[in-house]
Amino acid sequence: MNRDVGFFNFSINKILTKRQTILDQARIRLLYYGLWLAIIAVSAALINLYIEHREILTFSTSILLVSIFILFKYLTFRPRWGIISHILLVLATMVNLSNVFITLQNVDIITAQITFLIIVFSFYMLGQTCGLFYSLVNLIPILLFLVLMYDSNYFISLKPKVVDPSTLIIAIFANFILIIFIQNHFYAAFVKNIRQLKETAEERGNLNAEFEKVIEKAEKSSQAKSEFLSTMSHEIRTPLNAVIGMTNLLMMGNPRPDQKDNLEILKFSANNLLALVNDVLDFNKIESGKVVFETIKFSLADLMQNMCGGQKLKAEEKGLDFILEMDDSLKNKTVFGDPTRLSQIIFNLISNAIKFTHEGTVWVRMNQLEDHHNTVTVDFSVKDTGIGIEKENLDAIFEPFTQESITTTRQYGGTGLGLAIVKRLLELQDLQMSVLSQPGKGSEFSFNMEFPVSTEIATVQAEKQPFAIGSTDSLSNIRVLIAEDNLVNVMLMKKLFSKWGITPTIAENGERAIEMVQYGNFDIILMDLQMPVLNGFDAAVEIRKMRDHKKANTPIIALTASALFDIKERVFGSGMNDYVSKPFKPDELREKMKNLVTTFNSQI
Ligand code: ADP
């Protein structure tokens, strides 16, 4: 509604605004021109009645004219078409029924016209319900009147008025013009509305096309960013592999105490850098929607125990107590889920708890909340007696690259990515993390997760005996083929293997590796995945196709420098037996090699 319209406005343009719908504008126009027409017609009738000296009719027509004029003025001041329509319809109904029952005591063509006008006008102006109401309010009494007339029972003491034919002609003519005007007007509005709908649909189509283009562009740029990060991380991990590997080798060579301290710092920094690269890579992967959750069978108790082993040592090194508690009912449960991602979440929480606690205890709890026949809901919680978090920062710490304060960054390092990854991993599974924390007292991070339960009862795994570094055992003198193109890595592996009493054979690409397997005899193959000429996946596939049964089944361990989580499927899919991700831990590689070689030798 246009509030700037002055009281003396008579123009239609000032009361129409762009905010009104096409239909409302049509209603206002109809009222404006309709009232004009009515003023002209009623004035003409009034003049005629006055000349004819019909006092009563002149008086009532004058009142009608003044009422119409007041409504017209109201409309041009405030275009409230709803109220004005109601007033007009009430007036028209009164005129119509008084004509039938009092003035004329007859149903003539004027009554028929006015009734028709009321029906059309009320439906167009006020919609279905009001349309029906005004139509029936007029029709039912008129029908009743006709019935009464038919029975000749209708009697009223007033004498019916005889209207002069010229007034009759004016009224009939004006009514027909109004009926035509209403129809014409609404038909035009209807056509305009349809045209506008079509135009809007076209506009929307164009907008959608533009929108799609922009999305495509954004997707491409995001993909380029992801690829760039992926490549960069690979490139960074390769030299990092050499740094960590070399440090490991030097540590194994009985360094002097001062050298050992320096090596510890070197190893710590390199490992930090590696964790950072992994976090960025992982976050990038989650953000680009490439994370797929696995559903594999695992034991919750084993997973927690394995994960907490290393963390407990770390906590104890810092002088903290580390307590792992789990419900007995969970100890022999085998469930389906993604153990890698679950470990990643809990690992991040425990690392933070240890990092941000100076004294006291870190608790890791796993409680069973609900046990239905097929599923179990578990509450995981990591609690500490550390520095705590201010209430107003509890949301911010889950944002990427956000830490509680600058002091945190300075004092504890870190990237602020850990919790962002944890939050997103949970959200992707429709789960939420809750945090309770009091500055100076400690924090508790917890979440619930539901798992389908396997009917199989988990057997307690026999304790694995780790190898002592540098010990010589069944691995010495085995024949190892290493397919690796990076010279630094080759040197590193040779040094490491010499400590285990192994002299490996080197192939500089996948094709050479196949040739060497064909002409030589190996107990195990270590296969880098990204190599020139023929990559590790294709080389493995070719080896598995060899006619010689023994050669085709030689154990192959993939050496991968790419992200930890996406490569697994491809490695197993191309027939390799296992993988270690570079930079690998010597112990881990050794154990995997030993297991595979033992199994392989026992099969042939
Ligand atoms: P980072 O550990 O690399 O700093 P995170 O995303 O894991 O990044 O954590 C974000 C911030 O949340 C931390 O910098 C720290 O301020 C706060 N925070 C996380 N866990 C704890 C905790 N257990 N106690 C106190 N503060 C914590």
Return the top range by mean pLDDT from 263-267, 355-359, 514-518.
355-359
Count of beta carbons in the 10 Å neighbourhood of residue 188: 12
How far is the centre of ligand 1, averaged over its atoms, from the C-alpha of 451 (Å)? 28
How far is the centre of ligand 1, averaged over its atoms, from the C-alpha of 341 (Å)? 19
Return the top range by mean pLDDT from 41-50, 242-251, 459-468.
41-50
Give the CATH H-level superfamily of domain 295-457: Histidine kinase-like ATPase, C-terminal domain (3.30.565.10)
Task: Identify whether 583 is preceded by a cis peptide bond (ω within 30 of 0).
Answer: yes
Examine the pLDDT at 2 and tell me if it is beyond 80. Answer: no
pLDDT in tens, 261-274: 888 888 878 887 88
pLDDT-derived band at 466 (thresholds 50, 70, 90) equals very low
Q: Given ligand 1 and candidates 322, 391, 419, which is best to mutate, with the most ligand atoms within 8 Å of its CB?
A: 419
Positive or negative: CA dihedral 298, 300, 305, 310:
positive
Q: Are 390 and 405 in contact (CB under 8 A)?
A: no
Q: What average pLDDT score do residues 42-65 get?
A: 89
Q: Are 6 and 26 in contact (CB under 8 A)?
A: no
What per-residue confidence (pLDDT) applies to 133? 95
pLDDT in tens, 402-431: 777 777 666 777 778 899 999 999 999 999
- Is the domain spanning 480-603 CATH 3.30.70.20? The answer is no
Q: What average pLDDT score do residues 34-59 get?
A: 89
Q: What average pLDDT score do residues 7-30 get?
A: 87
Q: What average pLDDT score do residues 65-78 get?
A: 92
Examine the pLDDT at 396 and tell me if it is beyond 60. Answer: yes
What per-residue confidence (pLDDT) applies to 471? 41
Q: DSSP string covering 122-165, please?
A: HHHHHHHHHHHHHHHHHHHHHHHHHHHHHTT----SSPPPPPPH
How far is the centre of ligand 1, averaged over its atoms, from the C-alpha of 489 (Å)? 35
Closest CA to 589 of 550, 549, 559, 555: 559
pLDDT in tens, 96-141: 999 888 888 888 888 988 999 999 999 889 988 999 999 999 999 9
| Residue 480 CA, distance from chain mean position | 49
Q: Is 279 in the pocket of ligand 1 (CB under 6 A)?
A: no
Average pLDDT, the chain: 85
Q: What average pLDDT score do residues 79-95 get?
A: 92
pLDDT-derived band at 565 (thresholds 50, 70, 90) equals low
Helix (H) or strand (E) holding 324: strand 321-326
Q: Are 64 and 91 in contact (CB under 8 A)?
A: yes
Break the chain into its structural domains and give their ranges: 22-205, 295-457, 480-603
**415 CA: nearest ligand 1 atom:** 3
What per-residue confidence (pLDDT) applies to 206? 94
What per-residue confidence (pLDDT) applies to 456? 62
